[in-house]
Structure 1
Amino acid sequence: MQLTEKVSLLSRKIEREKAAKKAAEKLLEEKSRELYSAKQLVEDSLVNIKEKSEQDIALLQFKTYLESILLDFNQLFLQKPISNILLQRLLDDLIGIDEIKACKVRFKSLDQSGKFRSYYAGNKALINNDSQISSPLFWSNDHRQIKIIINSEDIILGSLTLVIDSPNSWQHTIEKQLLLFCDMISAAHSRQELLARTIEEKQRAESSEQSTRDFVAMINHELRTPLNGLLGSAELMSDTELSSHQKQLLSTMRQSGELLRVIINDLLDLSKMSAGMLQIVEVDFSPAKLCQMIYDIFKLRTEEFGLEFIFNYQDGIPERLLGDPDRIKQILVNLIGNSIKFTQQGKISVNLEWRAERFCFSVTDTGCGIPQDKIDTLFDPFTQVNNSSNRAFEGTGLGLAICKHLIEEMQGEINLESTLGKGTQFNISLPLKPVQTLPESISASEQNFPIETLSLLVVEDSTVNQVLIEMILAKLGVKPSIVSNGLEAIEFLDNQQVDIIFMDCRMPVIDGFEATKRLRADGYSKPIIALTASTTSTETEQCYQCGMDEIVNKPYQKEDIRKALVKWGCKLNSAVTTSSS
């Protein structure tokens, strides 16, 4: 091959390599641009995700803060009537978070004048007081100010106004939380009016047996419902992180709530006694477990008072007895509580034994004793050893009267021996029957049942109780659906199915009894558990007659709800297993 041809071939090869290199460089440049664009896209996405996460965290903190205030003031409003001080405290707490710049409550005067009064917190100048609204909820044009009407039974009680610096995406959460605050204030106002109406109603109550029964049932419901919110909220708060001061306040609140429960029970029991409604039930129970419960209740309390607590459970008591354990517990709690109250130093002794086919127990103290001229009247209602206004010991004077009535209803006997300045001994004997059969032990499936897998419907008209049971169920890992009356429950179940229903008994539109009847008539077979504030045998019978499967009494605790869910969840699971096999 000639030299010129070789040179020509080499030149063409070089040109091809140059072209290939140029194409490769161009491709590399294009890919570099694509890679840079992808990198920018990833960085932008990471920034957006970070901003979204920060917003979500801020929203969660904001919601948690409002919920904690709601819980705190819900308890305060249950303990105390609405006052100028409480409303101002509520506003002062609301501006404790950066997003809330100012707030105002305009509320109907608590006196007879009926005039409106305004309360402020934060930067008052930020609030636009000129805004007139015709709807229950109104946002300003810049979405910085929200105003919500507070009403009760279509009567306007006032309004709540907040100036909030937050993203527009928070609007739904803000509305939901503030509506709960307005419902809480409205419910507290309604309770005050209800209490006043109840007192007037009691004074005018007819003397007939039926009107007395209706009155007792209504009082039972209306007093236990707010008490349920108080004690239930206290239980939920005890599971949260609290400072030592908050724990002390919570302990005081729970003790006050339990004292209120005792007083309410005494008053209601007296009403039932007068109406012939106080009844004794007979169930199979373990006296040892009952007495252990009593010991646990008073062991710490006696230590706090510096008293020695001796609990002597003698051999020979049957393992199972037939009787009313709740009423026996009530008697023991009342007697031991009285001994603690009237014993400044020394000891309290409880002795339990089985003698001559009777369950016998005595409560002995080293207290101040009872004068002989007071012993004959000690079991009369509203009677105390010292009835003067400056007496040292608080109480209604109903406990011993109710104990005596309960013991007589159980065909038992009570007597006392007392020496002034040395102490008192109460002796009780009850003719209970031993039971040979042992109860079924808790199965492993019940102990380990995953209640978080259950779908629930809560039918409850009280907003306070809705929030309470939703929080209790959240602690158990369950998120329920919630409706406000029986009609809403029926309509809900037309389109959806649930495993278990918690049904309040007394509600507007359609109550729990009628709703359950209609559901059972339509073939609904899943468990329906009554949530009732009533403890009367009449209402208990009504619950079962309309088709309810179980009753959980208010005030309930998380353990009461958990046990009901485990029991009926296991039964549902067993039924499904049986049908599939």
Structure 2
Amino acid sequence: MAIGLGIGVETQSKLMGTTAFQPAKLAASFTRYLIAAILFGVIAFAAIELTRGNGRIAMVWIPNAIAVAILLRWKVRHEAVFLLMMWAGNVSANLLAGDAPEIAAALAFCNAIEISVALALTRRFTGRHPDMRRIDDLMQFVFFAGICAPAVAATLAMLVLDMAGIPLAPAWLKWLVTDGLGMILIAPSLLIFIDAARAPRRLTKLELVEWPVIFACSSAVTIVVFSQTQFPLLFLIPLVVLVHAFRMGSLGTALAILKIGFIATFLTWMESGPIHLSDHSQDAQLMVLQAFLATAFIIGLPIAAILNKQRSMIDNLEDREARLSLLADNMSDAVMRYNMQGECTFASASVADVLGRPVHEFLGRRPTDNIHPDEMETIPAIQMRLLKGESDKERFTYRRLLDDAEGRPAFIEADCVLVRDAVSNEAQTIIVSCRDVSDRIRLEKKLVRARRHAENAASAKSQFLANMSHEIRTPMNGVLGFVELLLQADLPEEQRRHAKLIQDSGNSMMSLLNDILDISKIEAGQVKLHPEPVEVRDCIMSCLSLYAANAVQKNITLQAIVADDLPAQITTDGLRLRQIILNLLGNAVKFANEGDIYVEAKCDRDDLVVAVTDNGIGIEKQRLDAIFRPFEQGDTSTSRKYGGTGLGLPISRNLAELLGGSLSATSTLGQGSKFELRIPLKISDGHASVVQEPELAATTELLAGSRILLAEDHDINQILVMAMLERCDQDVELAEDGQKAVTAVMTAKAQGRPFHLVLMDIQMPECDGYTATKTIRELGISADDLPIVALTANAFADDREAAIQSGMQGHLSKPLKFELLENTLRQWLPTKPIPPEIAPQPMTQSGILEPQPVEPEPVEPEAVGPEVGKVTSMEKLWQARRSEALAAVSQAIRSGMNGDASLEELARTVHKLAGTAGMFGEEELGIKASALERGLKADLPNTERLRLAEALLNAA
């Protein structure tokens, strides 16, 4: 109760932050220390009286060992006070033994020093809780507590014993031996007993029988040995100790040592036992007994500690092996071990499931003994790299010898690791972990096939888009081209209005086609960027100029606001930036009725911000995200009232993201909208690309009489382009294919009348435009000598790049516009300046385009008569080409669609029919001709080709 009360008071005092006086606790502690002092004194007195020889020093000094054992296992709060109390007990024992007071106090002080040194060294080097069952802890304790501490105490004690007149050297050795013997016999045994009492273990049934028998037999043997003086039977005692060490462990060995020590000491003191067989002094006999007890300890506890460590290692190995076996037997992967001869020495139970064969078929065999024929090269090569030490790790997938239960190929993924010796770094073994990855391989193959199909589909889509572009642009080239020629003729007002409507409808169709092609290219990931220096101010002003006329018609003012800190040039794709601004500006003009439209450009940290603000119809907030999805507009009424496909904004946002930026919108219904483009601001020091518009480029006039070669295989396109070129007073010569174009160029050069420009169609029989251009360049005619401009229905950026790479200098896409053709001619042919009074007026400084009225130049009827005659004669030419194509199709049907050469010629014929039928109101015929063309080019059976041909004839 006193102890419990003391702890409570102490805790309360700590919580209150005080150090109140606790008499009850001090009384309890003093009582315990007093009892310890009394016990120490009693044991010391007994040790002195029972084991003393002729000298002052005891035979085996036990008290110090007991004190050390207690202090190593129990935490004493006031250890110094505890040692002081034991010193007092020791002094009392010495006084009772007859020592003078000063000798008694001095010797007791030496014992206290010995205990302190033993505790300090043991705790410092072995730890506060040394385990005597561990050989390392036991040996360190013997050295520090059994040798070092007694040596220090013996040295101090010599000063005391010298005053008593005792010889120093023998006394020092006796002190060292007796105190050391007590430390190594008593302290380890007590520590083992205390540990066993704190953590008791249940004895097995065998131990419950074996331990009492061993204890009784060993006690009997010890008593027999020391109860007689006729025979020197001391040699039997080590056997007794070893039996305890091997069968009972450290605990039994400690018990045996104490038992043997007690029996040997008591019976020897009773003048019995083998020690008395020697006729020597009592001191000599005591020394023999000390040596015997030390031998018993050396034979017993160290061996027991070694056996305990061995047993612990074996238990750990067995536990580890059990865990490894549990993992190996239950893991899904198959684990195998191979020696450096390539033979399997271990295989887990999962091998049967993973590799499809029982374990015994792998043990002692090489991995190359049973492999699939498909892996005859892979597996041996990897095995040799591992066995030679050329590689430490390998991972590979192979087909196993046996297929799965369904007869499908089974694939295994193997991870191989070469294990090396930690010291010598020599290769020791190879560990292989295998798993069945058949499902993954099949899935990967499906993904590869799917990817291949997707790539083929994307390629087919790209080719389809190119073909559609060509198929649509070719007839539209004729439609818009001839309409343009008609508008330049002296037509009655009603016919001019009808022709203008045709032109507007054709332009709308081409705009829709361009949008569809753009969004398709973006979705297919086929848009390539071409970063270049761009002048943002000029780009914005150019875009404003294009919509100036439309803005004036709707009473709208276009204004550009460009920040002063905007760099003169940035690096980006100028064509895409211009396309985005045009789309945003076009939407603003379309949906606004009057007022102002602002195009603002500024810098915002590392971004270029271009904002287009209008006061149009606005957009509902919940529809702002939808307008950036293809084919969607603000609401369903928008498309009915304003028209359009809803592709402009999705294209613009995708292009903005391709440029590394974003496109966002804010709007208030009925008040207007603001679209903000952000792209990275990369300042450029290069020369900006110049974007020329028809309105701004026509500052020069063509000189007549330049020689132009037109390479075109389509007869109607030949008539149209030649009419346009003759309209520009140029001398035109025709070549129907690429080979003739090369011949014409080289002949003209040889005759001294070289051409000034070549308009080269891309898709032509015998030799296409790319090949013809490369041939001309290889023959030594450079771009400076003869510029070549591509003329094709394909309008993709890739086609423009291909044209430039083949040696061309420009690109004109169909349908061909007269103004673009005229500007191209101005770029490459001789020109003269236009007088300032008739030149186009520039935009004002405010950014508002001021359109100037221009009186149309009177046109003489005879000046346009030939063109009208050509247009009239085209109907006859169309009928002739139509009849030839239908006759060729009929002949092919009669021949059963046989002959590769004839089929290629037929494909070219129906290609021309498909491209021009729509121009003369026979759209259905054009569709059937296009279908037959694709069927002839594709690997279709003849029955399908015959069906398509008959459908064409039926449509005619």
Query: TM-score, normalised to structure 1's length?
Result: 0.56
Rounded Cα–Cα distance in structure 1 between residues aligned with 2:531 and 2:478: 30
Determine the structure 1 residue equivalent to 2:804: 544
Rounded Cα–Cα distance in structure 2 between residues aligned with 1:285 and 1:431: 13
Q: How many residues align?
A: 365
Q: From 468, 474, 479, give the equivalent of 2:726.
A: 474
Determine the structure 1 residue equivalent to 2:631: 382
Deviations 1:255-305 (A, max 9, x none): 333322321111000111122112222233433332222222222212323
1:284 aligns with 2:541: no
Rounded Cα–Cα distance in structure 1 between residues aligned with 2:538 and 2:481: 24
CA contact 1:460–1:483 (8 Å) conserved in 2: yes
The Cα shift of 1:494 comes to 5.4
Secondary structure in 1 aligned to 2:461? helix
Larger Rg: 2
CA contact 1:277–1:537 (8 Å) conserved in 2: no
The Cα shift of 1:505 comes to 0.6
Q: Which structure features the higher share of strand residues?
A: 1
Deviations 1:480-511 (A, max 9, x none): 10122223323434543432211011123322
Q: Where do 5+ consecutive residues of structure 1 fail to align?
A: 1-203, 572-581
Deviations 1:434-466 (A, max 9, x none): 33345699xxxx987965343221011233332
The Cα shift of 1:355 comes to 3.9
CA contact 1:205–1:211 (8 Å) conserved in 2: no
Rounded Cα–Cα distance in structure 1 between residues aligned with 2:611 and 2:689: 31
1:532 aligns with 2:792: yes
The Cα shift of 1:426 comes to 0.7
1:502 aligns with 2:754: no
**Structure 1 318/570 Cα, relative in aligned 2: closer, same or farther at 3 Å?**
farther
1:259 aligns with 2:516: no
1:338 aligns with 2:599: no
Query: TM-score, normalised to structure 2's length?
Result: 0.35
CA contact 2:639–2:645 (8 Å) conserved in 1: no
Rounded Cα–Cα distance in structure 1 between residues aligned with 2:601 and 2:722: 42
Determine the structure 2 residue equivalent to 1:455: 707
1:310 aligns with 2:562: no
Secondary structure in 1 aligned to 2:635? coil
The Cα shift of 1:374 comes to 1.6
CA contact 1:505–1:532 (8 Å) conserved in 2: yes
The Cα shift of 1:554 comes to 3.2
CA contact 2:532–2:688 (8 Å) conserved in 1: no
**Structure 1 351/234 Cα, relative in aligned 2: closer, same or farther at 3 Å?**
farther
**Structure 1 267/447 Cα, relative in aligned 2: closer, same or farther at 3 Å?**
closer
Q: From 637, 644, 647, give the equivalent of 1:398.
A: 647
Secondary structure in 1 aligned to 2:627? coil
Rounded Cα–Cα distance in structure 1 between residues aligned with 2:806 and 2:637: 49
Secondary structure in 2 aligned to 1:208? helix
Q: Which structure features the higher share of helix residues?
A: 2
CA contact 1:370–1:419 (8 Å) conserved in 2: yes
Q: From 461, 469, 480, give the equivalent of 1:212.
A: 461
Rounded Cα–Cα distance in structure 1 between residues aligned with 2:589 and 2:638: 21
**Structure 1 313/496 Cα, relative in aligned 2: closer, same or farther at 3 Å?**
same
Rounded Cα–Cα distance in structure 2 between residues aligned with 1:266 and 1:368: 23
Determine the structure 2 residue equivalent to 1:511: 768
CA contact 2:541–2:560 (8 Å) conserved in 1: no
- Superposed, 1:421-436 pairs within 5 Å as 421-436=670-685
Rounded Cα–Cα distance in structure 2 between residues aligned with 1:274 and 1:282: 21
Determine the structure 2 residue equivalent to 1:464: 716
Determine the structure 2 residue equivalent to 1:554: 814
Rounded Cα–Cα distance in structure 1 between residues aligned with 2:639 and 2:811: 43
More divergent stretch after superposition (415-424 vs 225-234):
225-234
The Cα shift of 1:235 comes to 4.3
The Cα shift of 1:371 comes to 1.8
Q: CA RMSD in A?
A: 3.4
Rounded Cα–Cα distance in structure 1 between residues aligned with 2:483 and 2:581: 25
Deviations 1:124-166 (A, max 9, x none): xxxxxxxxxxxxxxxxxxxxxxxxxxxxxxxxxxxxxxxxxxx
Q: Where do 5+ consecutive residues of structure 2 fail to align?
A: 1-452, 691-697, 832-956
Rounded Cα–Cα distance in structure 2 between residues aligned with 1:407 and 1:346: 28
CA contact 1:367–1:421 (8 Å) conserved in 2: yes
CA contact 2:574–2:689 (8 Å) conserved in 1: no
Rounded Cα–Cα distance in structure 2 between residues aligned with 1:469 and 1:425: 43
**Structure 1 460/332 Cα, relative in aligned 2: closer, same or farther at 3 Å?**
same
Rounded Cα–Cα distance in structure 2 between residues aligned with 1:437 and 1:457: 36
- Superposed, 1:29-428 pairs within 5 Å as 208-387=457-636, 391-428=640-677
Q: Which amino acid aligns with 1:506?
A: Q
**Structure 1 549/294 Cα, relative in aligned 2: closer, same or farther at 3 Å?**
closer
CA contact 1:459–1:486 (8 Å) conserved in 2: yes
Rounded Cα–Cα distance in structure 2 between residues aligned with 1:471 and 1:332: 35
The Cα shift of 1:224 comes to 2.8
1:486 aligns with 2:738: yes
Deviations 1:5-55 (A, max 9, x none): xxxxxxxxxxxxxxxxxxxxxxxxxxxxxxxxxxxxxxxxxxxxxxxxxxx
Q: Which amino acid aligns with 2:660?
A: Q
The Cα shift of 1:410 comes to 0.6
The alignment-based identity, stated in percent, is: 30
Q: Which amino acid aligns with 1:215?
A: F
**Structure 1 433/206 Cα, relative in aligned 2: closer, same or farther at 3 Å?**
closer
The Cα shift of 1:528 comes to 2.3
Determine the structure 1 residue equivalent to 2:410: none
Rounded Cα–Cα distance in structure 2 between residues aligned with 1:222 and 1:238: 25
Rounded Cα–Cα distance in structure 1 between residues aligned with 2:459 and 2:605: 41
**Structure 1 310/253 Cα, relative in aligned 2: closer, same or farther at 3 Å?**
farther
CA contact 2:713–2:737 (8 Å) conserved in 1: yes
Rounded Cα–Cα distance in structure 1 between residues aligned with 2:638 and 2:558: 31
Rounded Cα–Cα distance in structure 2 between residues aligned with 1:273 and 1:448: 37
Rounded Cα–Cα distance in structure 1 between residues aligned with 2:818 and 2:679: 33
Determine the structure 1 residue equivalent to 2:694: none
Secondary structure in 2 aligned to 1:480? strand
**Structure 1 393/507 Cα, relative in aligned 2: closer, same or farther at 3 Å?**
same
**Structure 1 248/287 Cα, relative in aligned 2: closer, same or farther at 3 Å?**
farther
**Structure 1 346/541 Cα, relative in aligned 2: closer, same or farther at 3 Å?**
closer
Q: After TM superposition, which residue ranges in structure 1, 4 or more long, deviate above 6 angstroms?
A: 446-450
